[in-house]
């Protein structure tokens, strides 16, 4: 037997990888553009961070850490938020997690009861859909308007708030679209949350990977509306496998006291995030390095190439990404009637060309008709990918 909550889990990003592995076993070369992991390509963890990991382990930091996180690390995160982002939180407002993924589990476990609703962007990262359902809640998608650069539709959001709504998620820069919410729309979401006495959850894991458009954290714009923000080291510091993240509370009127204590209970119950990863991460804040700037520089070149190739392919339209490392092109299925839906298209593309993308419907109802592609590989690989896609559609 298997529980309903486990049986219902779907995660398109890695579900498609199962099919890719089967295709690869038949001798096909696979282009893995499904998973957002820079370290699978020509990006490396900065050596000073890896050296720090080895040092702290040899120095004996191999014990269980404080359940809330190593104090020195939380203090460094607090200083970083204050100095770089003008966000004033103390170390007591910070909880270190095993990646943002664990933070999402914690938040939804503490926030959602059976039948309650959680307002999420559509399209969105599938873990928010899965975890809301896992805790017997109902994920409700508000529209990100593709015609407006994937900015949120505030009117649609307002219509979907009910007496069962427990919170509003802002995911910016957005996965899968690469869109960044405008500061005007973020302020409108904050005002709407205040009107209905709702907390905002802010997924900020890509906040340092931006291009032309400036990223604005809802914490910096909120005076009295509580915000729980999630961030980490996986993407901007090239530490995906380390599984190290953190969340922090912006709570001017102490509305999150019970939630914060509930999250601390969850943290204690799972013991701690990796101690050596935490002690090593302290060096990120104490060592001057341009590794994130270099990451963004390389990604921008690859984004520009990918976007220019996609926009020239007949039957595909695409909004350029302002952040993260994904493009979310739309397939014109009126022109290509060979496929009934985006999942069939992605599987067929994979089997015939080896190009592994993710079907847009895996990111919610508003993702239907799209596919998600990373632009992490180098230009030579990307050239092969888009040659394959172009020939496939011809």
For the domain that residue 26 is a member of, what is the CATH number?
A: 3.90.1150.10
Q: Do 264 and 369 reside in the same domain of the chain?
A: no
Q: Do 147 and 203 reside in the same domain of the chain?
A: yes
Spatial CB neighbours of 210, under 8 Å, sequence gap ≥ 6: 173, 180, 296, 322, 323
How far is residue 170's CA from residue 312's CA, in Å, rounded to a whole number? 32
Q: Do 239 and 100 reside in the same domain of the chain?
A: yes
pLDDT of residue 8: 74
Q: Do 193 and 252 reside in the same domain of the chain?
A: yes
pLDDT of residue 338: 87
CA angle centred on 189, ends 248 and 257, rounded to 5°: 35
pLDDT of residue 2: 79
Give the end of a domain, one of 286, 305, 324: 286
How far is residue 105's CA from residue 111's CA, in Å, rounded to a whole number? 10
3-state secondary structure 209-276: CECCCCCCCHHHHCCCCCEEEEEECCCCCCCHHHCCEEEEEECCCCCCHHHHHHHHHHHHHCCCCCHH
pLDDT of residue 334: 84
Q: Do 320 and 350 reside in the same domain of the chain?
A: yes
Q: Do 62 and 162 reside in the same domain of the chain?
A: yes
Q: Do 218 and 95 reside in the same domain of the chain?
A: yes
Neighbours of 68 (CB within 10 A): 20
Q: Do 27 and 100 reside in the same domain of the chain?
A: no
How far is residue 290's CA from residue 298's CA, in Å, rounded to a whole number? 13
How many Å is the maximal CA-CA distance in the chain? 62
Q: Which residues pair with 250 in a beta bridge?
A: 227
How far is residue 101's CA from residue 218's CA, in Å, rounded to a whole number? 20
Residue 35 is classified by DSSP as S
- Measure Cα distances from 133 to 82, 190, 332, 383 in Å: 35, 25, 31, 39
Among left, alpha and beta (phi > 0; psi -120 to 50; other), residue 58 is: alpha
Overall number of domains in the chain: 2
User: Which domain, by its residues, includes 61?
Assistant: 47-286
Look-up: residue for tokens 């990223």?
215
Give the end of a domain, one of 255, 286, 317: 286
Q: Do 24 and 71 reside in the same domain of the chain?
A: no
Cβ atoms 247, 96 nearer than 8 A: no
Q: Do 160 and 236 reside in the same domain of the chain?
A: yes
Q: Do 136 and 98 reside in the same domain of the chain?
A: yes
Give the end of a domain, one of 253, 286, 319: 286
Half-sphere exposure of 100 (CA within 13 A, CB side): 20
Neighbours of 369 (CB within 10 A): 17
- pLDDT by residue for the chain (394 residues), tens only, comes to 778 777 777 777 888 989 999 999 999 999 999 999 999 999 999 999 999 999 999 999 999 999 999 999 999 999 999 998 889 999 999 999 999 999 999 999 999 999 999 999 999 999 999 999 999 999 999 999 999 999 999 999 999 999 999 999 999 999 999 999 999 999 999 999 999 999 999 999 999 999 999 899 999 999 999 999 999 999 999 999 999 999 999 999 999 999 999 999 999 999 999 999 999 999 999 999 999 999 999 999 999 999 999 999 999 999 999 999 999 999 998 888 888 899 999 999 999 999 999 999 999 999 999 999 999 999 999 999 999 999 999 8
3-state secondary structure 352-379: HHCEECEEHHHHCHHHCCEEEEECCCCH
Cβ atoms 248, 81 nearer than 8 A: yes
Q: Do 60 and 19 reside in the same domain of the chain?
A: no
Give the CATH number for residue 257: 3.40.640.10
């Amino acid at each position: 037997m298997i529980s309903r909550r486990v049986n219902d889990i779907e995660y398109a990003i890695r579900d498609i990888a199962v099919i890719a592995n089967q295709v690869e076993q038949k001798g096909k070369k696979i282009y893995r553009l499904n998973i957002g992991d820079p370290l699978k390509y020509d990006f490396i963890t900065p050596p000073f961070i890896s050296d720090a990991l080895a040092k702290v382990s040899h120095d004996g930091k191999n014990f269980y850490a404080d359940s809330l996180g190593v104090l020195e690390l939380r203090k460094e995160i607090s200083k970083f938020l204050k100095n770089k982002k003008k966000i004033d939180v103390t170390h007591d407002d910070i909880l270190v997690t095993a990646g943002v993924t664990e933070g999402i589990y914690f938040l939804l476990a503490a926030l959602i009861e059976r039948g309650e609703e959680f307002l999420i962007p559509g399209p969105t990262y599938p873990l928010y859909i899965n975890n809301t359902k896992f805790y017997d809640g109902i994920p409700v998608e508000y529209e990100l308007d593709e015609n407006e650069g994937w900015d949120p539709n505030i009117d649609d959001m307002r219509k979907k708030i009910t007496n069962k709504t427990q919170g509003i998620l802002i995911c910016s820069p957005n996965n899968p679209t690469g869109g960044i919410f405008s500061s005007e729309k973020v302020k409108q979401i904050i005002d709407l949350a205040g009107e209905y006495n709702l907390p905002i959850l802010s997924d900020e894991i890509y906040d340092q990977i931006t291009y032309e458009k400036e990223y604005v954290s809802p914490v910096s714009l909120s005076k009295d509306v509580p915000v729980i923000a999630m961030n980490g080291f996986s993407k901007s510091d090239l530490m995906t496998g380390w599984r190290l993240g953190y969340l922090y509370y912006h709570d001017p009127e102490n509305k999150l006291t019970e939630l914060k204590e509930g999250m601390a209970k969850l943290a204690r119950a799972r013991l701690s995030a990796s101690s050596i990863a935490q002690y090593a991460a302290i060096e990120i804040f104490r060592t001057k390095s341009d590794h994130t700037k270099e990451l963004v520089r390389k990604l921008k070149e690859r984004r520009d190439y990918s976007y220019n190739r996609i926009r020239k392919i007949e039957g595909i339209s695409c909004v350029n990404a302002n952040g993260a490392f994904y493009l979310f092109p739309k397939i014109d299925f009126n022109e290509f009637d060979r496929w009934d839906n985006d999942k069939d298209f992605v599987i067929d593309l994979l089997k015939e060309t080896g190009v592994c993308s993710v079907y847009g419907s895996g990111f919610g109802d508003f993702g239907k008709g799209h596919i998600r592609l990373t632009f992490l590989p180098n230009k030579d690989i990307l050239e092969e990918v888009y040659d394959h896609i172009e020939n496939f559609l011809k």
